[in-house]
């Protein structure tokens, strides 16, 4: 099977990170194509511009928390959305897209095709 990848550019200005992440995840998986097959990774290369201009609504900056655990006792760490956003707004979108992709062997390859620019 011959796989041809499209290059798609998405403007993130004024869009909510979660809604944008669902669109990007579908493009990376190839579900927007008529030739979609679950066992073939035929998604597009996606470039996102203006990630720093995404619109986060309500009190999410202070209430949304990202958790990570080291699998050791007392290994739970938490970061607020505001901390992650201050360091790199593109990381917020990368995390959202990563968590919307299926947790299988294609996940890392699909994330490599995602390029996010502020």
The Cα 117–Cα 115 span in angstroms is 7
pLDDT, position 3: 86
The Cα 32–Cα 100 span in angstroms is 15
Domains of the chain, residue spans: 7-56+88-116
Contacts with 16 (C-beta within 8 Å, 6 or more apart), sequence order: 54, 55, 56, 57
Q: What is the pLDDT of residues 23-82, one digit of tens each?
A: 999 999 999 999 899 999 999 999 999 999 999 999 999 999 999 999 999 999 999 999
- Helix (H) / strand (E) containing 65: strand 65-69
Tell me which DSSP letter residue 40 carries: S
The Cα 41–Cα 48 span in angstroms is 20
pTM of the model: 0.93
Q: What is the pLDDT of residues 99-111, one digit of tens each?
A: 999 999 999 999 9
Which structure tokens are listed for 6? 């499209």
- CATH match of 7-56+88-116 with 3.40.50.10420: no
């Amino acid at each position: 099977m011959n796989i041809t990848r499209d290059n798609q550019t998405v403007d993130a200005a004024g869009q909510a990170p979660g809604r944008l992440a669902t669109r990007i995840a579908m493009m990376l998986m190839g579900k927007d194509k008529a030739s979609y097959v679950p066992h073939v990774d035929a998604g597009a290369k996606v470039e996102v511009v203006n990630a720093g201009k995404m619109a986060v609504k309500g009190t999410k900056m202070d209430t949304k928390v990202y958790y990570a655990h080291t699998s050791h006792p007392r290994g739970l760490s938490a970061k607020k959305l505001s901390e992650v956003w201050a360091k790199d707004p593109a990381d917020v979108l990368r995390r959202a897209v990563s968590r919307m992709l299926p947790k299988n062997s294609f996940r890392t390859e699909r994330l490599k095709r995602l390029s996010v620019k502020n």
